[in-house]
Chains A and B, each alone.
Chain A
């Protein structure tokens, strides 16, 4: 009887150790925190300067060689488009990595907001990807490798800004489509992205992220009354490379007002931390339960025997 137990115990231990080995690297990569590359570049978006000319959309379309849109880029009627019962404005999709939307506010009239990837310091898309398709480059861009993407679309679930889109129309090679900060064609060479380059209003300012934070705070201080006292993206969700200044509260122009300052990965770390504990503790615990349950059974048998062979093993507990 004890021989079988030992063998079973060993089998369970081996299974447990194998499982532990499988999960070894997980925690090492999950722990620790990252506050962004020191010389990461970024863009400061000043909503008060944007006039909704949509030339950034046109420049992006050309730079990224996206298909021509249904309506030309100088057509302002797109601002009146709404979707899903009037609840949603335009969003990024496989044919548009950036869109500008108009919000009719009470205090400031029409305010235009440009939407594109914010290039988080600790991107949720990157940390949720199980094939490591995303990279946060030292220059600040969050780029994506389509050739390893399986198409699970967890990155789209994870992105707090609803940015990544999927090329659902492709049957053979669907991939995630999103702004990549013009990484290959421009950022790598130190050049600003196409949208920033073309903006006639200087609504978009390209620079080192740490400098942009100073510029943003300066603008708030030197223009009292022009801005709400908040640089959106400085701290939100662990910080983003693209940051925003606005004359109206951010929730009025489609921003999530309370995303929190924790990067998304912090919500997942606790669970990832329990993984090695479960892997380490469960084998011994459940094998132990098994031995306890078996011991009980043996004990019953033993009592049964003892009744028959009166007193033979009576000394045992």
Chain B
């Protein structure tokens, strides 16, 4: 893509082409305004696509294999570890890393920090895709995925934590679709939809906070059903839900830092100056938020240990593993963030974010798999299970990239249709629209 831009090709960022004489069709927009030949060429030149190709060549047949021959064919079919990597990673790791949507929504919409707007859409998309793929992992893991709507429509177990998770994730997915649809409406050029979402933005954001608080916590509370199975250092009956909720905050914020760093390195052509120029400042802002979340998390984790008087466990091998998780995933990033914020060292903040994401992911894997059944034996996932988990993650990356390439997430959509029509009518430079009801949620058009 970089070389194409070098040759003077400009990816689509408005409804009309550069000469302002022709509207892009939907297909042309899908091809980023490139010819199919150009598009294919840039895709083939990208070595990352070849890696993806290899993953898909191995993994997609295995996914088909799983649905033809059952879960037993691709996992160890363990009755002691009913939840393997698909949920241990796909659900319990992906969901906290996707807390970004409600966090940045709250920052911008509720607290009125409009200086975070350049990264808000990325955070919303990160949230939406993370949840979507948590559901995809779930569909692969469920014994009878076609019955997923049963808790909504057929048979109700409303006293179960998972009932809450199911309803909230479903509702929250719809909320996030609505929030991200603004970018989609701009892209297809339907202003009515955009205005409607804008009108209900506060309602969407507040329901996003409620639903996130509860289902992030509920994922922790799921382990309250297994008080004897999870190692005491990773289990705290009264605080499990709040540990999960609290750690989701730095996890979501740091995931945005990590993703934006990757974008800056690999997709700079798609970002506008509003995104690129603000990114360093925003990264430090997110790092500040994340470090407050991490410090709180560290304190309440040790309150959990103190509450159940589990200090003796710290001297065991499990204790060393727990302290490693806390040191590398929580304390180290706090120190890196503190130094980074004080000395404006953005790079250190980015490294800290990587450690945080690692630390929270490790925490979820520990709770769901490694320290689960700590008195029984250690389950090592089947190699097919690992490959399918990686393949699903690769699909997630492809979808993520597909949307970032096209929708105005990293760049501002150049002109609203009225503008373009007005411009056509007046045969003049685009007219500045001020006082638009669309308002401040969207990046300044002018």
Contact pick for B376, options A87, A151, A174, CB 8 Å: A87
| Contact call B377/A87, Cβ cutoff below 8 A | yes
Verify A130–B151 contact, CB threshold 8 A: yes
Q: Which of A23, A156, A174 contacts B164 (CB 8 A)?
A: A23
Question: Which of B213-221, B299-307, B399-407 binds A?
Answer: B213-221
Query: Is B41 part of the contact surface with A, judged by Cβ < 8 Å?
Result: no
CB of B98 within 8 Å of the partner chain: no
Say whether A150 contacts B151, CB under 8 Å.
yes
Q: Report A195 CB to chain B, min CB distance, Å.
A: 20
Residue A160, interface by CB 8 Å = yes
With A15-B206, A131-B151 in contact, is A168–B224 under 8 Å at CB?
no
A297 to chain B, nearest CB (A): 6
Tell me whether chain A's interface is mostly helix, strand or loop, or mixed: helix
CA–CA, A166 to B75, complex, Å?
12
CB proximity of B301 to chain A, nearest CB, Å: 17
- From B4-12, B123-131, B141-149, B283-291, give the one contacting chain A: B141-149
CB 8 Å contact bits of B182-207 with A (1 = contact, 0 = none): 00000000000000000111111111
Complex: chain B residue closest to A294, CB-CB: B112
A165 and B207 alpha carbons, distance in the complex (Å) = 38
Set B147, B167, B205, B221: member contacting A271, Cβ < 8 A: B221
Q: Which residues of B contact A109 (CB under 8 A)?
A: none
Asked whether any CB of chain B lies closer than 8 Å to the CB of A275, the reply is: yes
Any A CB within 8 A of the CB of B161: yes
- Asked if B53 is at the interface (CB within 8 A of a chain A CB), the reply is no
Is B36 positioned at the interface, with any CB of A under 8 Å from its CB?
A: no
Binary A-proximity of B245-286 (CB < 8 A = 1, otherwise 0): 000000000000000000000000000000000000000000
Contacts of A218 in B (CB 8 A): none
A157 within 8 A of B: yes
Chain B residues with CB below 8 A from A275, complex form: 164, 214
Q: In the complex, what residue of chain B is closest to A134 when comparing beta carbons? A: B157
Q: Please give the distance in Å from B220's CB to the nearest CB on chain A.
A: 8
- Asked if B229 and A282 make an inter-chain contact with CB atoms under 8 angstroms apart, the answer reads no
Max count, chain B CB within 10 A of own CB: residue among A11, A124, A274: A11
CB distance from A176 to the nearest CB of B (A): 9
Count chain A residues whose beta carbon lies closer than 8 angstroms to a beta carbon of B. 78
Decide: B376 and A154 in contact? CB cutoff 8 A: no
Contacts of A84 in B (CB 8 A): 376-377
Smallest Cβ-Cβ distance to B76: which chain A residue? A168
Give chain B nearest CB distance to A269 CB in angstroms.
9
Tell me if A286 and B106 are in contact (CB < 8 A): yes
Q: Are A19 and B207 in contact (CB under 8 A)?
A: yes
Shortest beta-carbon distance from B91 to chain A in Å: 10
Type the 1/0 row for A153-175, where 1 means its CB is closer than 8 Å to any CB of B. Answer: 11011101010111011110111
A268 touches B154 (CB 8 A): no
Chain B nearest CB: distance from A244 CB in Å? 17
**B143 with A174: CB separation less than 8 A:** yes
CA distance A256 to B210 in the complex (A): 38
Contact between B203 and A157 (Cβ–Cβ < 8 Å)?
A: no
Residue A199 at the chain B interface, CB threshold 8 Å: no
The minimal Cβ–Cβ distance linking B58 to chain A, given in whole angstroms, is: 21
Residue of A nearest to B204 (CB): A15
A91 close to B (CB within 8 Å): yes
Encode B101-112 as 1/0 by CB contact (under 8 A) with A.
Answer: 000001001111
How far in angstroms is the closest Cβ of chain A from B84? 10
Known: A168-B77, A170-B70, A174-B70. A156 touches B82 (CB 8 A): yes
Whether A26 pairs with B202 at a CB distance below 8 angstroms is no
B433 at the interface (CB under 8 A from A): no
| Nearest chain B CB to A258 CB, angstrom units | 8
Name the one of B80, B148, B159, B217 contacting A127, with C-beta atoms under 8 angstroms.
B159
Name the B residues within 8 Å of A15 (CB-CB): 203-204, 206-207, 210
Across the interface, A153 reaches (CB within 8 A) one of B67, B73, B83, B165, namely B83
List, in ascending order, chain A residues with CB within 8 A of B241's CB.
Answer: 271, 274
Residues of A within 8 A of B147 (CB): 131, 148-151
The answer to whether A16 and B70 touch (CB under 8 A), given A127-B159, A166-B79, A271-B217, is no
Q: Of B82, B165, B206, B238, which contacts A287 at CB under 8 A? A: B206
- Expressed in whole angstroms, the Cα–Cα distance for A10 and B72 within the complex equals 51
> Quick check: is A14 within 8 A (CB to CB) of the other chain?
yes
Q: Can you give 23 A-B contacts (C-beta < 8 A)?
A: A12-B203, A12-B207, A15-B207, A25-B158, A127-B225, A130-B162, A150-B143, A153-B82, A168-B70, A168-B77, A169-B72, A256-B228, A260-B227, A270-B237, A272-B164, A274-B241, A278-B210, A279-B214, A282-B209, A286-B106, A286-B110, A289-B110, A290-B206
**Apart from A168-B75, A275-B164, A282-B210, 4 more pairs, CB < 8 Å:** A130-B162, A151-B144, A168-B70, A260-B228
Please give me the 4 A-B residue pairs with the lowest Cβ-Cβ distance, nearest first: A151-B143, A168-B72, A11-B203, A168-B77
Q: List residues of chain B with CB under 8 Å of any chain A CB.
A: 67-73, 75, 77, 79-80, 82-83, 106, 109-112, 142-145, 147-148, 150-151, 154-167, 171, 199-207, 209-211, 213-214, 217-218, 221-222, 224-229, 237-238, 240-241, 376-377
